[in-house]
Amino acid sequence: MPEITYREAIKNAMVEEMRRDERVFLIGEDIGTYGGAFGVSAGMLEEFGPERIVETPISEDAIIGAAAGAAMVGMRPIAEMMFMDFILLALEPLVNQAAKARYMFGGKATVPMVVRMPGGSGTGAAAQHSQSLETILMHIPGIKVVAPSTPYDAKGLLVSSIRDANPICFVEHKLLYKTKGEVPDEEYSIPLGVADIKREGTDITVVASGIMVHKSLEAAETLAEEGISVEVVDPRTLRPLDVDTISKSVKKTGRLLVVHEAVKTAGWAGEVMASVSETPAWDYLDAPMRRLAGKDVPIPYNRELELAAVPQVEDIVEEIRAIVQYRY
């Protein structure tokens, strides 16, 4: 299979779906001539024109409102937030309209829309452009939350998201855009709600998403030299969460660490741990479940402080060592 970047995988998914289905269109700020803040939609205006690559004023509320309305009358919009942080400006149409319309109309209305949002730190974009807000979105019934970690997953999950009949929040970590991976030329999709075991192991399960999958895999390589076998599970979809795959992994390894960049307080690690505690895997734990998350601070601009605010490879290594060495 050819190797392409995460950015190219997302673009390819959008282009292929727009060619396949004339109802699909892209809407957002600077997505046309400029090609998007991170260059994802570069060249799409030339192929699809301004009627399907819809440039908007600087109003996230208008972008999501327009997308929700279009979805309700049969279109399949892809709305781009320039930064994930800006979805906070559009929570009313997303949460009170898009997420609830299908339920309130007894299933007679659907809202098939995707909201793409670059999130996370690592680019020096400071506190208002570096947040990880997945948990806020996971809390809302009616919204699905997707967070791919590889180009292969990004394309396959975006195809499924565009074809889904519900509002999807599609989280793209900014540091992943330049990463490369194998992606088939032929059409494919990945079902939502199905986790993927990125590395098999026997001593501990690490659940991580986005950029933290890569950091966890790097930590696993380091620990393998010490004889510690780490299984890395990528949920890929945070809502719905594949509790079955996670619990089976924990049942096998007897230990669990959840790693995410979002702040620790009320982060989605707590949801994973609570869900595992409600399964038979709870009886197989050989150590307390632990979570490693971002510190409860706004993301700093200073490079060293920015790195200190979120988990790094060495932090994951230390946490795993502590859990594996724990004895009741």
- Catalytic residue positions, numbered: 129
Nearest Cα residue to 145 out of 76, 242, 232, 236: 236
Separation between Cα atoms, residue 264 and residue 257, nearest integer Å:
13
Separation between Cα atoms, residue 273 and residue 139, nearest integer Å:
16
Nearest Cα residue to 137 out of 306, 271, 293, 278: 271
Separation between Cα atoms, residue 88 and residue 161, nearest integer Å:
21
What six digits make up the tokens of 22?
Answer: 């004339």
Helix (H, G, I), strand (E, B) or coil at 48: helix
Q: Where are the extended beta strands (E) located within the chain?
A: 3-5, 24-28, 53-55, 76-80, 114-119, 144-146, 168-173, 180-182, 196-199, 204-208, 230-234, 237-239, 256-263, 290-294
Angle formed at CA 11 by CA 7 and CA 16, multiple of 5 degrees: 150
Strand duo 144-146 + 3-5: pairing: unpaired
Separation between Cα atoms, residue 189 and residue 308, nearest integer Å:
36
Q: Confirm if 145 and 157 have CB atoms less than 8 A apart.
A: no
**Neighbouring C-alpha atoms within 13 Å toward the C-beta of 38:** 25
Q: What are the angstrom distances between the C-alpha of 159 and each of 12, 18, 220?
A: 10, 10, 30
Q: Which residues have C-beta within 8 Å of that of residue 60, sequence separation ≥ 6?
A: 81, 86, 87, 89, 90
